[in-house]
Structure 1
């Protein structure tokens, strides 16, 4: 059994996280329940910050809030000297509501609306990552209306695509994001952006994939970005002060996953930056990265209560839990794999193979296939590991199921960070047209 972060098994055979008994957490907060190991979140953040400090380069580590965006997480990111990457007005509002410093916020997205841009301009955020020519013009016009000049990075597709163990030097051209480096649109965007009076180009942004377990893709991306920076400087006279290399750093979901230590990713990136830019006699830029999953992914555990079961002799045994694709759509969307234990009997040996089904009215609502567990009983607690990234963030009210609560645990203390939705929350935005109201409803 692989235990992440502060997870332990106590003398009663219960899974503990952050010094808190998961059975006690279930009793107090109910299930499904997202549990966040705060100490592990902070450890991951510090691994990035400390590795970049050791490089001697100027840097920003921006937490990619799309992975998991709640006010408590924004507060931790600020305390750990991180910047923040947002991709919507909702994420921006969450960050500002949490008191996150606006100058350390970067706004991403391939289709920012005028209202979103206005909101970010009014908040005086630190940087926009511009994705296309329409946005260049729109942002410049809206900034001019407010008498402001804003910092921007241009998102480019460098011709490097990396996922898990594979990297492809010709990939990523066919993407909804960014200006393509290979066909000249990135050069044209820089050239045009330099003419827009209310935009200040700091540099470029590059993102090559997700769940990356190698460093070669990052090295290749740095090579291409550095060559582009030198070309722009030589032909247009602009020196990039910032290079953003995005995120994509992998984590361990199952034993098949072999992520590198954070320091190895960072050293590969910083060594490549120093080598390429020094060789070109180019001023060393400030380096930005955007880890999200690798900050919160393995710090999250989802706790469920087992309900019914169904055994098909010679085929499969299903157990059903009180959550599913509404709190974790990733298995249905991506065939994502997870590990899990019975949280209330974590010290017992496996006796059977089961597949974990969710409660939604969908055949595809399956969380885990072929999981080895002790003989499962109704009322057992199932703890699914590594659900900190893109689980709460992608949760829905399908079947009008209420979204779970979120608790942060640390040093034996559990703090509610998000309340479980109520039935009134479910219908809170519903409006009954007057012509459909019955007399009893009008009272």
Structure 2
């Protein structure tokens, strides 16, 4: 039970989050009530200054750690965390590349002004069309995930219409076998899953890449999972990868090593993520030590943080609809607080059992804290936004509720479940707010439903796709 259920925990909220003299939550200098009145709820709020500050900090941490060890480091923003053209402009202006994982993400990155040469393209099932587009625009690197994909690229780079002046740089994604201490759906380096090559299979993939005139082997890629605290998993992955890296050097150049991302953030006061500077020093140091033990130079390094760039910068605003006390057989009383969003705008609680925190945003309260569960409006018992929280027992319909640390994997995982339109995304900075992603309306949903649209008079003459 918190000493003050109105307090904003600094490690969870954006740096700009504060309460004004009336007790109202202020984000980026803009009051929550003003945001809700102008843009409605639910509402994703992104603090631009916070995103930029995290981007600068992460880049400085890894580049500084690499310089100490006599090498370089490149940081790519993992776009899957949250991608829009405005986010692309923020992170690229702070010196980051962008990692994309689909043709749609590639299109957004390019529309946001990203240099194609500073893009990395991921995905376990990139289509021929997606690979053609990547070659056409000059994507800097493609992370290959299967032998089939290597052959697709071999065929495409041999074609006159997609052949590039310089070979296409490709990385080989490797499953290090390191099991990150995270949710099983977020652990991506164990053997029994869809991504990458096993360590013993990677050399054959590299040999084939080196045979293809249109491809250049850029190095190895590894990603052990997401929302990881501590450095032990990264250290062990580095040890296993440098073994393979050293062996591959006998057959040719191995310029770089990409160690992915997955650095955790605080979602609640109980979370204690590792500082990014400590992570950078430890991970780069582990690579350098493994290289020194084998008498080989430290390769150029690359990293792909996403959540640690945008997670803490995001806050979702909801309006409370109903409040219902429930007495449990265990003797515990719980307050169920229903809001006007839910699993359609934040699937992580239902998907991963993720924990979040919440605060009343429209006011402060002197009422005693009550054990609460914040739930959504969807027709699912698992539609939970915040599983366990203490909120003032006088929370009431019409109150604004704020859930922090929603900048990553909330908008990007959003859906139209129960035909609920996706919320808008607003950026705040220096007392100003502006729309960066338009919210959907019911009309938008109906516009895609062919049966709801007026039938053209001559539709029957236009063939099967009319």
Give TM-score, length-normalised by structure 1.
Answer: 0.93
Preserved CA contact (<8 Å) 1:327 1:394: yes
What is the CA RMSD across the aligned residues, in angstroms?
A: 2.3
Structure 1 residues 132 and 44, CA gap change in structure 2 (3 angstroms): same
Alignment of 1:139-288 (within 5 A): 139-145=153-159, 146-148=162-164, 149-164=167-182, 172-181=190-199, 184-234=200-250, 236=251, 238-288=252-302
What is the aligned partner in structure 2 of residue 33 from structure 1? 43
Please report how far the alpha carbon of residue 319 of structure 1 lies from its aligned counterpart in structure 2 after TM superposition: 1.6
**Alpha-carbon displacement from aligned partner over 1:79-102 (angstroms, at most 9, x marks no partner):** 110010000011001111111110
Please report how far the alpha carbon of residue 348 of structure 1 lies from its aligned counterpart in structure 2 after TM superposition: 4.2
Provide the C-alpha distance between the structure 1 equivalents of 2:401 and 2:154, rounded to a whole number of angstroms. Answer: 51
Please report how far the alpha carbon of residue 349 of structure 1 lies from its aligned counterpart in structure 2 after TM superposition: 5.0
Please report how far the alpha carbon of residue 345 of structure 1 lies from its aligned counterpart in structure 2 after TM superposition: 1.7
What is the aligned partner in structure 2 of residue 330 from structure 1? 348
For structure 2, the 5+ residue unaligned runs are 1-6, 461-466
Provide the C-alpha distance between the structure 2 equivalents of 1:170 and 1:386, rounded to a whole number of angstroms. Answer: 23
Please report how far the alpha carbon of residue 6 of structure 1 lies from its aligned counterpart in structure 2 after TM superposition: 1.4
What is the aligned partner in structure 2 of residue 425 from structure 1? 444
What is the aligned partner in structure 2 of residue 340 from structure 1? 358
Structure 1 residues 438 and 353, CA gap change in structure 2 (3 angstroms): farther
Alignment of 1:12-27 (within 5 A): 12-27=22-37
Provide the C-alpha distance between the structure 2 equivalents of 1:58 and 1:270, rounded to a whole number of angstroms. Answer: 10
What is the aligned partner in structure 2 of residue 369 from structure 1? 387
What is the aligned partner in structure 1 of residue 309 from structure 2? 295
Preserved CA contact (<8 Å) 2:267 2:355: yes
Provide the C-alpha distance between the structure 2 equivalents of 1:233 and 1:99, rounded to a whole number of angstroms. Answer: 36
Please report how far the alpha carbon of residue 316 of structure 1 lies from its aligned counterpart in structure 2 after TM superposition: 3.1
Provide the C-alpha distance between the structure 1 equivalents of 2:456 and 2:277, rounded to a whole number of angstroms. Answer: 64
Please report how far the alpha carbon of residue 170 of structure 1 lies from its aligned counterpart in structure 2 after TM superposition: 13
Preserved CA contact (<8 Å) 2:188 2:225: no
Provide the C-alpha distance between the structure 2 equivalents of 1:252 and 1:170, rounded to a whole number of angstroms. Answer: 21
Structure 1 residues 101 and 367, CA gap change in structure 2 (3 angstroms): same
What is the aligned partner in structure 2 of residue 90 from structure 1? 104
Please report how far the alpha carbon of residue 173 of structure 1 lies from its aligned counterpart in structure 2 after TM superposition: 1.4
What is the aligned partner in structure 1 of residue 58 from structure 2? 48
Structure 1 residues 140 and 306, CA gap change in structure 2 (3 angstroms): same
What is the aligned partner in structure 1 of residue 3 from structure 2? none
Preserved CA contact (<8 Å) 1:350 1:372: no
What is the aligned partner in structure 1 of residue 115 from structure 2? 101
**Count of residues in correspondence between the two structures:** 434
Provide the C-alpha distance between the structure 1 equivalents of 2:373 and 2:188, rounded to a whole number of angstroms. Answer: 39
- Asked whether 1:414 is paired with 2:433, we answer yes
Structure 1 residues 274 and 8, CA gap change in structure 2 (3 angstroms): same
Provide the C-alpha distance between the structure 2 equivalents of 1:384 and 1:437, rounded to a whole number of angstroms. Answer: 43
Give TM-score, length-normalised by structure 2.
Answer: 0.89
Q: Secondary structure at the match of 2:174?
A: strand
Q: Secondary structure at the match of 2:448?
A: coil
